[in-house]
Amino acid sequence: MTEENFVDYVKIFISSGNGGKGSSHLHREKFISKGGPDGGDGGRGGNVIFRANPNLWTLYSFKFKKHYNASHGADGSKNRSSGAQGEDVFIDVPLGTLVKNSNTHELLFEISETNNEFVALKGGLGGKGNFHFKSPTRQTPRYSQKGEKGSEMDVILELKILADVGLVGFPNSGKSTLLSVITSAKPKIADYEFTTLKPNLGIVECNNFNSFVMADIPGIIEGASKGRGLGHYFLRHIERNSILLFVIPVDTNNIKNEFNVLRKELKDHNPELIDKKFMIVFSKSDLLDQELLLEFKILIKKCFNDIPNLIISSVSQKGIEKLKNSLWELLNS
C-alpha cells in the first residue's frame, strides 16, 4: 500500500430519502360511480446505513465520491396500493472507523466489528392515503398526508487502524526498515526524519502458518500529544493496537530518557495506552562493534531489567526471528 493510498480522514455529505405522498383517490368502477376513498400510503424514504467491510483497509474510495443520497419513496396510488420504499444507501467502511457529526464533532458511532451496521439517517415516513381518514361523518375525504422530508448531514470519517502490533518510536529510529524486513510491506525508507507520513501495514508470518498484523506509525516527537508534528493524527492510530513495540536505536544518547518521553506522550494523549502490553527493541545494532555491544547490554540490564527487550539489526537481520516469536507469545499470553 503506497502512502498516497492510505487515507484516514475524510468529510462526506449524506442524505436520506423523502417519504412518498399518500393518495387522495376515490374508488371508481363501471357500475360504481361514487365509491369510497381508496388512496394508498406513500413509501418510506431510503435510509443511509454504514456497515463494516473487513476487506477495506483505508478510506481511499471516499477521495472520489463525497455525496451519498438515498432515493425517495414513491407516492401511493388507487386501490389502497402503497408506494414503493426508497432504496437504502449502504456505505462500506473499514474496521476501526469513527463516524462523527461534522458540525458538532459528536461521535455518532464506531465501527469495530465485522457485523457492525448502523443507520446514520432514517428516511422520511410515507404519508397516509385518504382511506385512513374516512369516518361515519366524513365518508369521502379528499385529502391525504404528504410524506416526511428526509434528513441530511455532513459527517467526518476518521480511521484508527486495527493492528496486532504497533511500532512506536522517534523519527528515523528504524521502524520502517524493521517493517520492510519482518513483513513484505515496502514503506518509504530514507535517512531523514519524518520519511513516513502515513501508517504502513504489513503481515508478519510466524511458524506453523501463524501470522499477525504490524503497523508502522509515523514518528512521535516530544509534544506530540499537544498536536506538535501532527501528533494527534499519528497517536490516534496507536489506540487500536494490541501490543506496542517501542523502537529505540542503539546510537541514542539517552535510551532511558527516550523511552520515558515516548511513554509520557502516549499517556498524555490517552492514559489507557499505558495499560497495553509492550516490549522494547533496540535497533541498528550493526552500528556497534563487539566491545560496544557488551557495554550496551550492561546499560540495558541496568535501565530495563524488568521490561522484555531485544537487540536487533534490520540490516543484518540479527534477532529478527526471535522478535517474531516473542511478539507472537506476547500476543497470545
Contacts of 27 (CB under 8 A, 6+ apart): 35, 36, 37, 38, 78, 79
Is the pTM higher than 0.75? The answer reads no
Half-sphere exposure of 200 (CA within 13 A, CB side): 26
Q: Which one has a higher pLDDT value, 82 or 221? A: 82
Query: CB 177: neighbour CB atoms within 10 A?
Result: 20
> What was the pLDDT predicted at 198?
62
Q: Is the pLDDT of residue 57 over 90?
A: no
Range name among 26-30, 41-45, 150-154, 282-286 with the lowest pLDDT average: 26-30
Q: Convert the pLDDT of each residue in 6-16 to its tens digit.
A: 677 899 999 99
> What was the pLDDT predicted at 104?
92
Q: Convert the pLDDT of each residue in 299-328 to its tens digit.
A: 988 888 888 899 998 888 888 889 988 999
> What was the pLDDT predicted at 155?
96
**Burial bucket for residue 56 (CB in 10 Å: 0-12, 13-18, 19+):** middle
Task: Give 182's pLDDT tier (boundaries 50, 70, 90).
Answer: confident
Please report the domains of the chain, with CATH numbers, ordered by start residue: 1-159 (2.70.210.12), 165-331 (3.40.50.300)
Range name among 56-60, 68-72, 108-112, 291-295 with the lowest pLDDT average: 56-60
> What was the pLDDT predicted at 5?
55
Half-sphere exposure of 115 (CA within 13 A, CB side): 0
Q: What percent of the chain has pLDDT over 70?
A: 88
> What was the pLDDT predicted at 186?
61
Q: Which one has a higher pLDDT value, 114 or 34? A: 114
Mean pLDDT of 196-224: 71
Contacts of 47 (CB under 8 A, 6+ apart): 16, 17, 70, 88, 89, 119, 121, 122, 123
Q: Is the pLDDT of residue 230 over 60?
A: no
Task: Give 172's pLDDT tier (boundaries 50, 70, 90).
Answer: confident
Round to whole Å and give the CA distance between 104 and 96.
21
Angle 35-37-41 (CA atoms, 0-180°, nearest 5)?
145
Range name among 3-7, 91-95, 316-320 with the lowest pLDDT average: 3-7
**Angle between helix 290-303 and helix 255-269 axes, rounded to 10 deg:** 50
Range name among 8-22, 45-59, 137-151, 226-240 with the lowest pLDDT average: 226-240
Mean pLDDT of 267-293: 88
